[in-house]
Each structure stands twice: as structure tokens, then as C-alpha cells.
Chain A
């Protein structure tokens, strides 16, 4: 029973504390003991007012920042104590990122941005990987825009490229930090619909930070963070 639970648990956080400026008079604790479990295939929204610690929690989940104390198990493996190489490898194998400002590499075309993760691992892109990236761009509605630079695309299109890049290697988990925060309402709705579709089709888990209550309501589960504590954890009914 416990083994079956472990197999379905993607993220398990226990007593996560995060402080900045440790040991200095300006020491500030941002997260005060977060306990959280996310199962494989869940689509989770993370909400909270500014300064509640959402981005910090997302960075810890994304292995971009270390926690001060606590335990973080990703796919059953403890992340605490891993060195930089270990964390980089887990990020590469397990995680995809979507940022608020898309953060595409401006010197690369849309297609190159999507093939970068494969290039990074193998040193080259096979014909199969290239075709897969093309299909993925077409799937997110960007057929014909493969060779355009990010600057030549609209905000919504840029975010679609960023989403394609995040899911191209089929990671078990995608972390999205306000992916619609920089888009108008129509584009936001489209991008969110795209995330939901990729989730449904590929079984990828999503943890999405958002300020938009309407979009959050379209997620399977809603987490609310207030003052560095998990204030509520609600399963939504769609």
C-alpha cells in the first residue's frame, strides 16, 4: 500500500523552511514549514498574495534554490544534500519550466529554442528529435513560425514556444511561474487551455503559480500560500 503510494507521489515536501541572510541581523524566514504532496498527473494551482513565498517555493521545487531545513523528495528521491551536478541532472531529467516572461533565448529561432534541451543532452539534434519539435510547435499552434526569432512573435506565441520547450522531453513535472501573467485575457485563456490539453494528452504534472482566480479554478487542485505557510489545499470540481 505504502509502495503504491510512493509510486504515485511525485513531490513530497516535509517541514520546508527557507530563510535568507542566514546568521545576519537581516535574516528573514520566507517559508515556515511547508508540508505538501503532489501525485503524478495532478494539475495544481498555487496562489497567494505577493510576498507570500510562491516564487521561493517554486524555486525550491525547481531545484534552483536550496531549502534551509526540511525534506524534499522528488519521485521518491531525497533532493536535500545533492550537489550542483546532481541537482542539474534532476532538473534536466525531471523538470520543465515556464516563466512569466517566457525567457526564450533571443538568438535562437522558435524551433531551436524547442530543440535546445535535446541539443544540451546529446550535443546534436537527430532528425527524429527535430521532427518531434516541429510537430510539437504545430501542436501548440505555431506551424510556420519555426524559423522566427522570439522578437518576431507575439507574447502569446512566445509563451507557446516556451511551453513547447518545457514539455519537449516529456518531463514528469512542469513548473509554471505565472505563465499568463504577461498576457491579455484571451491569450491567457488560450495558453491555459494549452497547458490543460498537454496535461491531459501527455500525463505531465503541472504546478502553476497564478494570480488569476478564474484560471486557478480550472485546475484540479488549488494551494493557497499566505505568509510562507500553506493556508489551504482544495480539490476543485470542474
Chain B
């Protein structure tokens, strides 16, 4: 190809070198566009990943529960007859997921699912001395639950351990109760009260969760909440969080349980993420259009400036196709050089963001990196845009009448 396009390469590079200020400006323009696109992609990617990690860090990707109690109509209405009924909704009680012990291995065997954790959850009171706090009681098998939410990584004091009579509490709740690791407090649910020794304090990333979370062994929670042998829900973790919705629908169709994906439980967050993605897409598109127009306008000017030279080349026997390729190559060179420079600028911007923008704890707000494949895609896209931008000027150059061009 080098040999075949040797003439075109030579002429294209010389034309670019001849108008070096013009060339430099448009390369910087392309670089600025590529840098903005790459930086925004990395920034929004990092922000969304951070938001998702924080959100999904305290919950399963799919939650499977027992269906709610509903009042069934005594008799179906006759066809064509509208029955006006008024039904009082039933008060919901804690119910176990039926046959959860059998369901667990079935779920674990599914290829999309990485982990399943049975849980008993309910409400209660934490009591210590005069302190009394309303709490969310979670009964779990520690190892399974740790694989779902990474509990051990959130321990801020003590060691995560759940032997009988032990419990893990949120950091703020510990402050409210005035307990430290090793201290005891009482858990009360209805008529049952149990004493729990704190083995670890955790920071779940959300202060409100820290203020009301108490995690105890599964069996202890079953006793406290009056659900012997039962679990209120199965938390499911997936290999790919974005498959949650589809798998939840599949499970709903297959089993008589209430199955909810994290998207359904966090509809507002998903909407926000979607809006963010759409906005980013629009910004990226507009920037790329500006890049294309920039390259095209410079090449159009170049075609006019180089009119006589194009005429001479055509008179010497240069074909229309060769002239076309000369200008397409110029677009490609500008696109590739601009892309390379743009990616370097984006990396610099990311480094500056990480260095200068920090949270109250002195740490970067969130992890922001430019994945190599994103950088490569943006660079490729800009290079292709360079060639596309050159099409119209190149066609114009190729169509020039040599006699007229020489007279210019």
C-alpha cells in the first residue's frame, strides 16, 4: 500500500506541510474535540461506575421475595358485566420464601448469577441503657452476604464475625447507642429480646443505612422475627449488573415469587444515569460534528489555495482518483494526529481532575480513568471523521477542470 499510495502520501504530506499554520490549527482543533470527548467519556463513566458501586454496594442486583398477600375476589364477574367491588388491602406480614433451600442451588447454577445470599430482614429496636433506636434487622450467612455486598471491606472497626449472639452494626448506630466493638446491647422484636455482642462496626456508604443497620446470624434473626427456618428474601448478585432486568423478568415468569431488579428498586437512579448517558452522547456528537466541519472547512480552503497545483498535477497525468486520495489522506492524517494529541490531552485532564478535585476526606471524589478501548474508539472515530470530512473537498478537488485550475 505504501508503494501504491507513495505519490498520494508524498503530495498529501507536502500540502499539509506547506500550509503548516493551517495544518497545526486544525490538528489542535481536532485534538481539543477528541480531548473533550475522551475526557467526558471517562468522567461520566467514572461517575456512573462510582454511583453504581455505591448504590449496589448495599443490595443485591436482584431480590427475590415471597409474593405479597392479596385479597382474592370471591367470584369472577360474568363476561360483559362490570363488578364494582371495594376491597380492603391486606396488612402484610413477614412471610418466608417457600422452598428457598431448594431454590438456592437452582439459582446458583444459573450462568448469569455469581452469588446468592439468603436473608431474614425485619424491623426492631436496639436498646442500651436509656438509648433506644429503631433498626433494620438483617439476618445473614456472613460469607454469602459478604460476597454480595463486600461487607468485610466496609468494616471500620473490629472483625466481621457472626457467631451465635454476635452482631455487626452500622457506625452511626453504634455512636447513637454508645457501643464499641465488644460491647453488648439488646435487640427487641415484638415479645422477643436478645442480647448481642458487637464484633464489628461497618460503614455502608450511606449515613442513613449506618444509623439503622444491625446484622446478625440468620438463625438469630429467624428467632427474633418469628420465622423459624425461613428467609424473607434471597439476594442475588450477577456477573453483569446490566442483565438484572432481563433475568428478573425471566425469574418472574418462571417462579411464583416477587422478583425485583436493582433497576426497578432504583428507578430514579436509572433515569438519572440514562439522562446522563443521553446528554453525554449529545455533547460527544456535537463535538464530533464540529471536528468534521473544522477539518472540512480547512480542506475546502486548501483545495481553493492548491487549485493551480491540482491543475498542474492533472495536466501531468495525475488521475482524478489520485487527487481524491491526496485529500482523503490529508483528512486522515489530520484526524490521526489530532486524535493522538487529543488522547494525550485527555489523559492530562484526567490526571489534573484526580489531583485537584478532592472530597472532604482528601481523597479523589471518584476513580476516573480512560480505558484504553474507549481511547482507541474515540481516536478511531475521530480519524474516520477526518476521512469523512475530507470527502467533499476531495471530490471537489478531483472534479476540477485542469485547464481552468491552471489559469487560476
- B95 to A: closest C-beta gap in Å: 79
Determine chain B's interface SS by DSSP, over half rule. helix
Query: C-beta contact mask, B18-59 vs A, less than 8 Å → 1, else 0?
Result: 100000000000000000000000000000000000000000
Q: Which chain A residues border B80 with CB–CB below 8 Å?
A: none
B403 contacts A by Cβ under 8 Å: yes
| B322 adjacent to A103 (CB under 8 Å) | no
| A65 adjacent to B6 (CB under 8 Å) | no
| A88 adjacent to B403 (CB under 8 Å) | no
| B315 adjacent to A124 (CB under 8 Å) | no
Q: List 24 A-B contacts (CB under 8 A).
A: A59-B403, A64-B402, A84-B320, A88-B318, A88-B319, A91-B315, A91-B316, A92-B316, A97-B316, A103-B308, A105-B312, A105-B313, A106-B18, A107-B14, A107-B17, A116-B7, A116-B313, A119-B6, A119-B10, A120-B313, A120-B316, A120-B318, A120-B322, A123-B5
| B6 adjacent to A123 (CB under 8 Å) | yes
Q: Which chain B residues border A84 with CB–CB below 8 Å?
A: 320
A89 contacts B by Cβ under 8 Å: yes
When chains A and B are docked, how far (Å) is the Cα of A106 from the Cα of B313? 12
Q: Which chain A residues border B10 with CB–CB below 8 Å?
A: 119
When chains A and B are docked, how far (Å) is the Cα of A124 from the Cα of B2? 9
Assuming A107-B15, A119-B7, A124-B3, is B317 touching A88 (CB within 8 A)? yes
| B3 adjacent to A62 (CB under 8 Å) | no
| B312 adjacent to A85 (CB under 8 Å) | no
Report B292-342 residues with CB < 8 Å from chain A CB: 308-309, 312-320, 322
When chains A and B are docked, how far (Å) is the Cα of A105 from the Cα of B317? 15
When chains A and B are docked, how far (Å) is the Cα of A106 from the Cα of B406? 14
| A62 adjacent to B316 (CB under 8 Å) | no
When chains A and B are docked, how far (Å) is the Cα of A92 from the Cα of B314? 9
Q: Which residue of B lies closest to A124 (CB)?
A: B6
User: In the complex, which of the residues A88, A89, A95, A107 contacts B314, with contact meaning CB atoms closer than 8 Å?
Assistant: A88
A117 contacts B by Cβ under 8 Å: yes
Q: Which chain A residues border B320 with CB–CB below 8 Å?
A: 84-85, 88
When chains A and B are docked, how far (Å) is the Cα of A121 from the Cα of B7? 8
Q: Which residue of B lies closest to A117 (CB)?
A: B316
| A92 adjacent to B4 (CB under 8 Å) | no
Question: What band does the interface of chain B fall in when counting residues whose beta carbon is under 8 Å from A?
Answer: 20 to 34
User: Among B313, B315, B401, which residue has the most Cβ atoms of chain A within 10 A?
Assistant: B315
- B20 to A: closest C-beta gap in Å: 10
Query: C-beta contact mask, A27-40 vs B, less than 8 Å → 1, else 0?
Result: 00000000000000
When chains A and B are docked, how far (Å) is the Cα of A89 from the Cα of B402? 14
Q: Which residue of A lies closest to B317 (CB)?
A: A92
Assuming A84-B320, A85-B319, A99-B406, is B7 touching A123 (CB within 8 A)? yes
User: Among B15, B313, B319, B402, which residue has the most Cβ atoms of chain A within 10 A?
Assistant: B402
Query: C-beta contact mask, A70-102 vs B, less than 8 Å → 1, else 0?
Result: 000000000000001100110111010101000
| A105 adjacent to B315 (CB under 8 Å) | no
Q: Which residue of A lies closest to B10 (CB)?
A: A119
Q: Which chain B residues border A105 with CB–CB below 8 Å?
A: 14, 309, 312-313
When chains A and B are docked, how far (Å) is the Cα of A121 from the Cα of B318? 8
User: Among B3, B309, B316, which residue has the most Cβ atoms of chain A within 10 A?
Assistant: B316
User: Among A62, A92, A116, A123, which residue has the most Cβ atoms of chain B within 10 A?
Assistant: A123
Q: Which chain B residues border A106 with CB–CB below 8 Å?
A: 18, 309
| A107 adjacent to B18 (CB under 8 Å) | yes
When chains A and B are docked, how far (Å) is the Cα of A93 from the Cα of B319? 13
- Beyond the given A92-B316, A108-B14, please list 10 additional residue pairs across the A-B interface where CB-CB is below 8 A: A64-B403, A88-B317, A93-B317, A99-B312, A103-B308, A105-B14, A105-B313, A107-B15, A117-B316, A119-B7
| B14 adjacent to A65 (CB under 8 Å) | no
Q: Which residue of B lies closest to A59 (CB)?
A: B403
Q: Which chain B residues border A120 with CB–CB below 8 Å?
A: 7, 313, 316-318, 322
- B319 to A: closest C-beta gap in Å: 5
Q: Which chain B residues border A93 with CB–CB below 8 Å?
A: 317
Q: Which chain B residues border A108 with CB–CB below 8 Å?
A: 14
When chains A and B are docked, how far (Å) is the Cα of A85 from the Cα of B406? 19
- B294 to A: closest C-beta gap in Å: 23
When chains A and B are docked, how far (Å) is the Cα of A99 from the Cα of B402? 13
When chains A and B are docked, how far (Å) is the Cα of A116 from the Cα of B318? 10
5 cross-chain pairs, A with B, having the tightest CB-CB distances, nearest first? A92-B317, A123-B6, A64-B403, A107-B14, A107-B18
When chains A and B are docked, how far (Å) is the Cα of A121 from the Cα of B312? 15
- A188 to B: closest C-beta gap in Å: 21
Q: Which residue of B lies closest to A116 (CB)?
A: B316
Q: Which chain B residues border A85 with CB–CB below 8 Å?
A: 319-320
When chains A and B are docked, how far (Å) is the Cα of A144 from the Cα of B33? 46
Q: Which chain A residues border B317 with CB–CB below 8 Å?
A: 88-89, 91-93, 95, 117, 120-121
Q: Which chain B residues border A64 with CB–CB below 8 Å?
A: 315, 402-403, 406
Q: Which chain A residues border B401 with CB–CB below 8 Å?
A: 65
Query: C-beta contact mask, B151-179 vs A, less than 8 Å → 1, else 0?
Result: 00000000000000000000000000000
| A123 adjacent to B3 (CB under 8 Å) | yes
Q: Which residue of B lies closest to A106 (CB)?
A: B18
